[in-house]
Amino acid sequence: MATDSRIPGFYKRSLDERRDEIAKRRGVDSASLDAAFVRGLTHDLADKMIENVIGLYALPIGVGLNLRLNGKDHLVPMVVEEPSVVAAMSNAARMVREGGGFTGEADDPITTAQIQLWDVRDPAARERVLARSAELLEAANAAFPEIVRHGGGARELEAFDRGEGLFVVHLHVDCRDAMGANMVNTMAEALAPRIAEISGGRVGLRILTNLAERRCVHVRGTAPAASLATPDIAGPEVRDRIVEASIFAERDPYRATTHNKGIMNGIDPVVIATGNDWRAVEAGAHAYASRSGVYRPLATWRTNASGDLEGKMTLPMALGIVGGTIKVHPGARAALELLDVKTARELAMIAACAGLASNLAALRALATEGIQRGHMTLHARSVAAQAGAKGAEVEGVAQAIVAARDITLPAAQRELAKLRG
């Protein structure tokens, strides 16, 4: 069933109504969403996930809207503590949608393990190891035969002489729909003694690298200039200011860091919602951002030949849709079902699009009215709710206290009393 991810007024509905709407759009039973997101993880399951469990720590899950990738709509589950992230992502995704939606490609799902050796003094060691590639790749596959049955497996070896006896072998493995950490670590541990023999060295570490540069996603999105307009500033002017903001990040690592943080605002919530390892994605993203020796923005924005704003981004994105936490966590499984993805590569592209949209939203806000106004509106909604406002009252009270520039609980209580007559 095709899902339309455009749901006007979604934020005005109650939580129950939102879950019902999402269930309807995805053709799933509302009760299954309740099981995943209302009852959620049990203590028993949590106790199997990590050690020394004493309970659960909850974060909200929201649904990012309007995201279209390669012609297909996706509802995007996002787990995050920061207000305005979900709204901003959805807002910018709507602008890109007006330009036809995001497009993207993903590299093959290659995760790489490193096998470190010490005391390798023979300059011919590299050649010798590479000459035995076929036999070593076969041994790697024998250590994890399930992946070969799924169409993946060990693909290539590289070897690097890092000087003073330090020798490093990279084992590149196609992990298909798994993130692949366990798989490649198992393979690396299995191969290491044989590589030590061939190279004449002593085994050191055997572990994946999170700089997954062979597992990048490449996404692009165009926002028509008109879609960028604010009540006070015309679209083309906003577009030019966003390009200037991009150039700021391209030339200044201090700005690039915050620019990239805004990108991770969209990526991490999707990675967390789907039970993936967000620390791995963060580590890979920032290492990739500094691969030239200078820390740079992951996404950049320019005006295209039609006068519209075009953004593009490439970064490593090692995500899985099978195995690990996904198997255990009911929320992660339900989040993947909502996303309606068939492959880990598709999930990786969606996470990146959420990042690119978040970046666009942040730059547009920063280049126009600043981000505080939007934040204040959201803050006002939560103050209104604290004052006891229900349903449509929340929006009415929030708007009144924003207009009065008095976003406090007493002001919200006064406005609520007025509203109720």
Catalytic residues: 82, 261, 277, 375
- Which amino acid is it at 326? I
The binder of ligand MEV chosen from 226, 371, 385, 419 (CB under 6 A):
371
The binder of ligand MEV chosen from 18, 132, 170, 261 (CB under 6 A):
261
Of 345, 411, 348, whose CA–CA distance to 379 is shortest? Answer: 411
14 binds ligand MEV (CB under 6 A): no
- Which amino acid is it at 256? A
User: Minimum distance between the CB of residue 364 and ligand MEV, rounded to whole angstroms?
Assistant: 10
362 binds ligand MEV (CB under 6 A): yes
Which region, judged by CB under 6 A, interacts with ligand MEV, from 257-265, 297-305, 326-334, 413-421?
A: 257-265
DSSP 8: T
* H/E element, 315: strand 309-316
Name the residue nearer to ligand MEV (CB basis): 165 or 370. 370
Q: Where are the alpha helices (DSSP H) in 233-343?
A: 235-251, 253-273, 278-289, 325-328, 330-339
E-strand ranges in 138-200 read 153-161, 167-174
Name the residue nearer to ligand MEV (CB basis): 111 or 265. 265
| Long-range contacts of residues 235-242, Cβ cutoff 8 Å, at least 24 apart | 236/307, 238/364, 238/367, 238/368, 239/303, 239/307, 239/308, 239/309, 240/303, 241/367, 241/368, 242/301, 242/309, 242/360, 242/363, 242/364, 242/367
Tally of CB atoms within 10 A around 127: 11
266 binds ligand MEV (CB under 6 A): no
258 binds ligand MEV (CB under 6 A): yes
- Which amino acid is it at 280? A
User: Minimum distance between the CB of residue 176 and ligand MEV, rounded to whole angstroms?
Assistant: 34
Query: CB of 351 within 8 A of CB of 218?
Result: no
The binder of ligand MEV chosen from 201, 262, 297, 355 (CB under 6 A):
262
377 binds ligand MEV (CB under 6 A): no
User: Minimum distance between the CB of residue 59 and ligand MEV, rounded to whole angstroms?
Assistant: 16
Name the residue nearer to ligand MEV (CB basis): 266 or 324. 266
364 binds ligand MEV (CB under 6 A): no
Name the residue nearer to ligand MEV (CB basis): 143 or 366. 366
Name the residue nearer to ligand MEV (CB basis): 11 or 248. 248
265 binds ligand MEV (CB under 6 A): yes
Q: How far apart are CA 68 and CA 71, in angstroms?
A: 6
* Binding letters toward ligand MEV, positions 80-109, x by CB under 6 A: --x---------------------------
What's the maximum distance between 2 C-alpha atoms anywhere in the chain?
Answer: 88
What residue ranges bind ligand MEV (CB under 6 A)?
82, 258-259, 261-262, 265, 362-363, 366, 371
